Amino acid sequence: MELLVLFGTLLGLLLAGVPVAFCLLISALACMFYMDIPLVVGFQRMAAGMNVFALMAIPFFIFAGELMNQSGIAERLVKFAQSLFARVRGGLGLVSVGSSMMFGAISGSAVASVSAMGSALVPLMKKENYEPEFAVSVTATAATTGLLIPPSHNMIIYAIAAGGGVSIAHLFLAGIVPGLLLGIGLMVATYFISVLKGYAAGRFYGWRQLARSFVVALPGLLSAVIILGGILSGVFTATESSAIAVIYTIIVATLVYRSLNWDGFIQASTNAVKTTAMVMMIIGSASAFGWMLAVTEVPTQLSDALLSVSSNPLVILLIVNIVLVLLGTFMDMSPLIVITTPIFLPVMTGIGMDPVQFGIMLILNLGLGLVTPPVGSVLFVGCAIGGVRVEDTIKTIWPLYLVFLVVLGLVTYLPQTSLLLPALFG
Partner 1 sequence: MTVTSQLPPVTNRIVEWSLKVAAASLVLMTLITGWQVFARYILNNSPTWSEALALLLMLYYIQLAAAAGVAQGFHIGMTLLLDSAPEPLRRFLLLFGQSMIFGVGITMAVNGVFLANFTAEHVIPSLGVSRAFAYWPFVGAGVLMALFALERIYLILRKGGN
End-to-end CA distance of the chain: 44
Residues 364 and 39: their CA atoms lie apart, in Å, by 36
Neighbours of 143 (CB within 10 A): 33
DSSP string, 392-403: HHHHHHHHHHHH
Instruction: Dihedral sign for Cα 166, 172, 177, 183, please.
Output: positive
Alpha helices for 52-127 (secondary structure H): 57-70, 73-85, 91-107, 110-127
Minimum CB distance to partner 1 smaller for 19 or for 409: 19
Sign of CA dihedral 267, 126, 380, 57: negative
Cβ-contact 64, 252 below 8 angstroms = no
Nearer to partner 1, 222 or 307 (CB): 222
| SS3 of residue 89 by DSSP | strand
| CA–CA dist 322, 233 (Å, integer) | 37
CB of 333 to partner 1, least distance (A): 10
| CA distances (Å), origin 52, targets 18, 57, 161, 273 | 26, 10, 11, 17
**Minimum separation from the CB atom of position 57 to partner 1 (A):** 10
CB 245 within 8 A of CB 226: yes
- Give the nearer residue to partner 1 in terms of CB position, either 241 or 296: 241
> Could you list the residues that contact partner 1 (CB under 8 A)?
13-23, 25-26, 29, 39-40, 42-44, 46-47, 50-51, 53, 55-56, 59-60, 63, 235-236, 239-240, 243-244, 246-247, 266, 269-270, 272-274, 276-278, 280-282, 284, 330-332, 335, 374-375
To the nearest whole angstrom, how small is the minimum distance from the Cβ of residue 299 to partner 1? 24
How far is it, in rounded angstroms, from Cα 64 to Cα 272?
9
Q: State the nearest-atom distance from the C-beta of 115 to partner 1, in Å.
A: 16
**In whole angstroms, how close is the CB of 51 to partner 1 at the nearest point?**
6
Q: Closest approach of Cβ 366 to partner 1, in Å?
A: 14
Minimum distance between the CB of residue 19 and partner 1, rounded to whole angstroms?
3
* Shortest distance in whole angstroms from residue 92 CB to partner 1: 32
For the bound state, the minimum distance from the C-beta of residue 239 to partner 1, rounded and expressed in Å, comes to: 7
Burial, 387: exposed, middle or buried (Cβ in 10 Å; 0-12, 13-18, 19+)?
Answer: exposed
Report H helices in 198-332: 207-233, 238-251, 262-295, 298-309, 313-330
Q: How many residues does the chain have?
A: 426
